[in-house]
Amino acid sequence: MSRSLLVFGLVLGLCTGATLAHTPVAAAMFGCDDASGLCADGGTWAADTKMTDKDRKKQSESSPGSVSLEIEGGRGSLFVNGRYAGTAPLDGISVPSGPNDIQVRDGAQVLASGMLTVPKGGNVSLTVRHD
Amino acid sequence: MTRRSKTHGWMLASCLALAPAVAVATTPVSAAASPGAWLLKPGKKKSNRSKPKKKKDGVTPAQAADKRVPVQQTAQALLDSGKAAQAGLEFDRGAAAQGDPVLYLDAGDAYVEAAKADADPAMADAAIERAHIALDILYFHLDSAADEDFRLVEAAEVPALINRAEELIETAQAVQEEIAAASDPVGPTDAPPKKKGNGKGMIVAGIGLASVGGALAVLGVAGLAIGAVNQSRADKDTVYGSEYDDVETRGKRGNLLAGVGLGVGGALVAGGLVLYFLGKKRKKNAAEDDKVVRVTPTLGGMAVTGRF
C-alpha cells in the first residue's frame, strides 16, 4: 500500500515538473539555455539566419503580432527589420506577423541575431542571455 | 456657315485636342508622378521588377537632421531657463520617435546637467543609459543588418558620435562619484551605511519566538501538574517500595519538565514580545521615511516614486 502511494507520488511529481518546465514562468525562473543566447516563447527562432525576399513577402502588417524582450544579466536594445525597436525590458512591441530579422545588441556586442517568425496576432516573449 | 469656315473649325478643334498631348510630351520625367500622370499610362503595363524597391517610410540623414531641429530648439530653451531634467525629457521624446542617437546623446547631456544641479545620482544613471542606447544604435548603423533606407546619421559621423557617447558615460560616472563623495564626508572607501529594514522580519521573528515560548510554557505547566500529582501520591501511606520509586521518578520528570518549560518558554515569550514591539516601532519609522517623492526619468518618460 505504502509502496504504491510512493510510486503514485513520484509519478505525480514528475508529471507536474514536466508541465511546469514548459511554462513562461519556469523559463523566467530557470533562464535561457539556448546555445544561440536567445529563447523565444510563442514564436519560431532561427539563429544566424536572415530573411530572404521570399520570407519578406510572407510578412503581414495588417495582422501584426507583438514581441516582449527580457535580458538576463545585463542590458541591450532590440532591432527589428533593420531598425531600432527599443531597449529592454520591452513589452508588447508591435511587429509584422511572419518572418522578421531580429538583432539584440549591447553596444558593439551582438547578443543574438537571427530570424523570428511571429504568428498572426500572437505575442512572442524573448529572453536573451547576456554573457 | 461657309465650307471654308467649316474647315477652319475642324482645324481649331484638332489643335485643341492635340495641345495637351504635346504639352505632356515636353514635361520633365520627374513630373510624371504628378496627379495627371495617369494620362501617360500606356495600354500595356510595364514591368518594374528591375527597379530597386524604395521604402515609403525611409529616412535620410538630412531629413533626420531637419526633424531634430525643433526638438533641440524647445529643449535648449528649457536648458537656458535652468530646467535641465525637463529638457532631458523633451530630448527623450524626440529621440524615441525614431530612435535618434543624436537626441539620445543630447538627452544624456541634459541629465548630466540635472545631476550636477540637484546632486541627484538617478539623473546620472539616466544619462549613462541614454549613452548606452546611443551606442547600441550607432554600432547597429555600422552593421550590415541595418536598414539602408533608414539612416539617421551619416556613416562618417558615427565614430565621432561613439566617442561622444563614451565621454558622456565617463562624465556621468564622475558626477556620480562627486555626489557620493559629497554625501559621505568620511570618504568613499567607507562601507555604505547599512539600510534599516522595515521591521517586518522582527515582527515575524517576535511572533515566532513568542509562539514557541508559549508552547514550552504550556509544557512547563503540564510538568508542574505532573509533579504535583505525583507528590500527592508519594505522600500517601499506601505507596511504598518500588511503587514509591516509580512515583518519585515520574514526579522528578514532571518537575524537570516544569523547570525547563517555564524557564526557557518564559524567556522566549519575553524575547519574542521585545522583538515584536521593536519591529512595530521600526515599521512605523520606515513608513515615515518612505514618504519622500522622487521624480526620475525612465525609458518610457518619467517615474514618480515614493509613498503618498
Confidence check: pLDDT of B125 > 90:
yes
Q: What is the pLDDT of residues B178-211, one digit of tens each?
A: 999 988 766 555 566 666 677 888 888 889 999 9
For position B284, what pLDDT does the model report? Answer: 81
CA A107 to CA B83: how far, in whole Å?
30
Q: Which three cell numbers stand for residue B149?
A: 533606407
pLDDT bracket for residue B5 (50, 70, 90)? very low
Q: Which three cell numbers stand for residue A69?
A: 524582450
Same domain, A26 and A88: no
Do A108 and B132 make contact, defined as CB atoms within 8 angstroms? Answer: no
Same domain, A26 and A41: no
Confidence check: pLDDT of A1 > 50:
no
Confidence check: pLDDT of A130 > 50:
yes
Tally the domains of chain A: 2
Same domain, A42 and A96: yes
Short-list A131, A84, A124, CA closest to A104: A84
Same domain, A91 and A60: yes
Q: What is the mean pLDDT of residues B263-281?
A: 91
Same domain, A83 and A116: yes
Same domain, A6 and A59: no
pLDDT bracket for residue B91 (50, 70, 90)? very high
Confidence check: pLDDT of B31 > 70:
no
For position B75, what pLDDT does the model report? Answer: 94
If 0-12 CB within 10 Å is exposed, 13-18 middle and 19+ buried, where does residue B193 land? exposed
The rounded percent of chain A whose pLDDT value lies above 70 is 76
Cβ–Cβ contact A123 with B under 8 A: no
Q: What is the mean pLDDT of residues B87-104?
A: 92
pLDDT bracket for residue B140 (50, 70, 90)? very high
Positive or negative, the CA dihedral B51, B54, B56, B60 is negative
Q: What is the pLDDT of residues B57-87, one digit of tens each?
A: 789 999 999 999 999 999 999 999 999 999 9
Say which of A82, A87, A110 has its CB closest to residue B133. A87
Same domain, A11 and A62: no
Task: Provide long-range contacts, Cβ within 8 A and 24+ apart, for A25-30.
Answer: A27/A125, A27/A127, A28/A70, A28/A127
Same domain, A11 and A67: no
| CB contacts < 8 A (A, B) | 49
Rounded to the nearest integer, the mean pLDDT of chain B is 78
pLDDT bracket for residue B292 (50, 70, 90)? low
Same domain, A118 and A88: yes
CA B153 to CA B127: how far, in whole Å?
21
Same domain, A14 and A49: no
Say which of B99, B148, B299 has its CB closest to residue A84. B99
Confidence check: pLDDT of B123 > 80:
yes
Q: What is the mean pLDDT of residues A32-48?
A: 90
Q: What is the ipTM of this complex?
A: 0.79
pTM of the model: 0.58
For position B304, what pLDDT does the model report? Answer: 55
Domain ranges, residue A64: 34-129
For position A24, what pLDDT does the model report? Answer: 44
Confidence check: pLDDT of A15 > 70:
no
Do A79 and B132 make contact, defined as CB atoms within 8 angstroms? Answer: no
Same domain, A5 and A43: no
For position B289, what pLDDT does the model report? Answer: 63
Same domain, A5 and A64: no
How near does any CA of chain A get to the CA of B163, in Å? Answer: 12
How near does any CA of chain A get to the CA of B204, in Å? Answer: 27
CA B155 to CA B60: how far, in whole Å?
11
